[in-house]
Structure formats: C-alpha cells, structure tokens
Amino acid sequence: MSSEIATKPYSLSWLGHFFSSSVGRKLIMSLTGLFLCLFLAVHMSGNLQLLKSDGGRAFNEYAYTMTHFAPIKVVSYITYFFILLHAFDGVALALKNRQARPVKYAATPVGSTWASRNMTLLGVIIFFFLVVHLKGFWFEYKFGAMPTVTYDGKEFKDLYSIVKEAFSQWWYVLLYLISLVALAYHLIHGFQSAFQTLGLNHKKYTPIIKAFGWFFSIGVNLGFAIQPLYLFFIQQS
C-alpha cells in the first residue's frame, strides 16, 4: 500500500487515509461540532419569535426568509451535511474504540465525567430527536400541505400554527425537554473536547473555555426549552 502511494506523488489517497484515521475523524468531529453549536445558537435565537404575541406573524415571516434567501439555503445544506458527517464519524470512532477495548474498564476512569463516558449514547438520543423534529416541522414546511396566512397581501405558510399545535400535546413537550437535557450534556462535554482536539490546551485558557461551554450549553438549551413550555402553558390557555 505504501509503495502504491510512493509511486503516485500527487495522489490524494493520503487525504482519504487521514480523514478515516482516528485523528482525522476527531478533527472532523470537533470542526463540525463547533459549526453545529453556531447553528444551534442562531436557530434558538430565531425561534424566539415564537414568543411574540402577534398570532405567529414574526415567526412565519422569519421562516419564509430562512427558506427563501439563497445564502441561508446554502448554509442549510452545509448544516445537513455536517450533521450526517458528525454522526457518522461519532459512530465510527465508538466502534473502533470498542474493538480496541472489548472489555469495559473495571473502574470509572479518573477525571472522566458521566457526559464524557456517554457521548455516543447522548448523540444517538439527539439523532432520534432530530428525525422526529425534522419530520414534524421541517418536512411539513417543505413538502406538507400547509395552511397559509396572508400579511399585507402576501401569502405565507403558517408554520406557527403547526408548531403551536404540536406543543399543545404534553408528551410532545416532554419529548423535547428530555432531548434538550441530552443535548445540554452532549454540548457541555463536546464544546471543551473540541478545543482540546484542536490543540488548545492551556493552563489559563482551558478553564475559561470549559466555563464558556457550560454557559453556552445551558443558555442555548434553556432558550429552546422556553419555547414549547410557553406555547403549552401560555398560548393554549
């Protein structure tokens, strides 16, 4: 194999080898993970339009912009791709680790947290949440027979009524809250772990990165959690 590479000086096969190696996969996971953190912060902030008492107008207009503005559409496709890449590499790394260590540690590794030992499980929960979430809102918006509303003579899909209807069911709200707890744990460990993978391991800065990771994870997930709770308790009454 190595002689094959050696006879092809311009071969890109080293790139393929690198990105399927553990180091390469970890690098991809950290970069895609940080991008997805940014997506989550923007998604959560945009969705706060759900809290306006305007019958859903601001949210419907926001959803329209997000799905009709070309640069945002490109970012959306990058997001879908990065979610799949992040999940695929996560599973590949977990399987590799399991093969390398078929017998579980007898004792909990020193310094490890519950979240750090359960990142794959948390990731799988988030993935299943995403399937339900995208089917319920995103798929309906893009491909479903949506109700419409007219503002100033222009027709909009009434995504707000779909979201409000979904969060009128207690079990749907509960499903979201449980998934958001899983996401919070996943982010708390993932955030600082991404910086470590990128080599940013410093006596002074690592505690700051860890603290910011906590602040970010709790903040984003509280921001998300308010939305179903508000629609269930305030808007339905």
Query: Which residues here bind ligand HEM, judged by CB under 6 A?
Result: 43, 47, 63, 66-67, 76, 79, 126, 130, 133-134, 137-138, 141, 159, 163, 176, 183, 224, 227-228
Q: Least separation, in Å, of the C-beta of 199 and ligand HEM?
A: 27
Nearer to ligand HEM, 24 or 136 (CB): 136
Task: Give dist(CA 167, CA 80) in Å, integer.
Answer: 24
- What is residue 151's three-state secondary structure? strand
Task: Give dist(CA 76, CA 86) in Å, integer.
Answer: 15
Nearer to ligand HEM, 183 or 188 (CB): 183
Q: Least separation, in Å, of the C-beta of 121 and ligand HEM?
A: 15
Instruction: Count Cα atoms within 13 angstroms, Cβ side, for 115.
Output: 15
Nearer to ligand HEM, 71 or 102 (CB): 71
Q: Least separation, in Å, of the C-beta of 22 and ligand HEM?
A: 25
Q: How far is CA 229 from the centre of its chain?
A: 20
Q: Least separation, in Å, of the C-beta of 12 and ligand HEM?
A: 30
Provide the token pair at 76.
């959306």
Nearer to ligand HEM, 24 or 85 (CB): 85
Nearer to ligand HEM, 112 or 236 (CB): 236
Task: Give dist(CA 25, CA 19) in Å, integer.
Answer: 6
Q: How far is CA 54 from the centre of its chain?
A: 28
**Closest residue to ligand HEM in the complex (CB):** 76
Residue where the block lists tokens 């990771």: 213
Provide the token pair at 157.
């899909």
Hey, which residues does 151 pair with through a beta bridge? 154
Nearer to ligand HEM, 68 or 154 (CB): 68
Q: How far is CA 133 from CA 137, 138, 157, 172, in A?
A: 6, 7, 18, 10
Residue 115 has what DSSP assignment?
Answer: H
